[in-house]
Amino acid sequence: MQKNNFTDKTLQTIIGNLLRYGVLLALTVAAIGGGFYLSRHAHETVHYEQFIEQDKNLGQLAKEIVEGLKAGSGRSIIFAGIIILFLTPALRLVLSLFSFLAEKDYLYVAITLIVIAIIATSVILGYSH
């Protein structure tokens, strides 16, 4: 009979690796996107006079990024790297939630669910003007 070797230390190692490799992946994707962007736009002169906010909802933005990724747009690849960077700690929260559920630590389950709800609410409300 094999003993289950999945411990809290194992989960902490998984979470640490998730954060480490998530940041490295985000950096790599954004750097590749930067390379694409510069290879196509390095010769252009840029003049910024005023920042104009674009009024787009989350669905429109996601659609534009996906279409840009399909077309090989450097800007969209950079945005994908940024999204990976934002999702990395969110995925850590989800893994922590499962850890707390496995340990039957319901206080931390509740706290983690509250944090996830706050993040989800701020993302949804931040993009619905």
Question: pLDDT tens digits, the chain, 129 residues: what are they?
Answer: 445 566 778 888 888 899 999 999 999 999 999 999 999 888 888 777 776 666 666 678 888 889 999 998 999 999 999 999 999 999 999 988 988 888 888 999 999 999 999 988 988 887 655
> For residue 52, is it within any domain?
no
Q: Would 106 be classed as within a structural domain?
A: yes
- CA distances (Å), 83 to each of 35, 68, 77, 123, in order? 18, 14, 10, 12
pLDDT the model gives residue 43: 84
Identify whether 20 is part of a domain.
yes
Is there a domain that residue 67 lies in? yes
Predicted TM-score (pTM) of this structure: 0.75
Specify if 46 maps to a domain. Answer: no
pLDDT at 1: 44
Determine, yes or no, domain membership for 2.
no
The verdict on residue 105 lying in a domain is yes
Residue 61: its pLDDT value, please? Answer: 80
Half-sphere exposure (Cβ direction) of 48: Cα atoms closer than 13 Å: 2
Number of domains in the chain: 1
Residue-number span of the structural domain to which 115 is assigned: 10-41+58-127
Residue at 50 is within a domain:
no
Q: How many helices (H) and strands (E) does the chain have?
A: 4, 0
Contact (CB, 8 A) for 74 and 36:
yes
d(CA 77, CA 29): 7
Sign of CA pseudo-dihedral 58, 26, 34, 49: positive
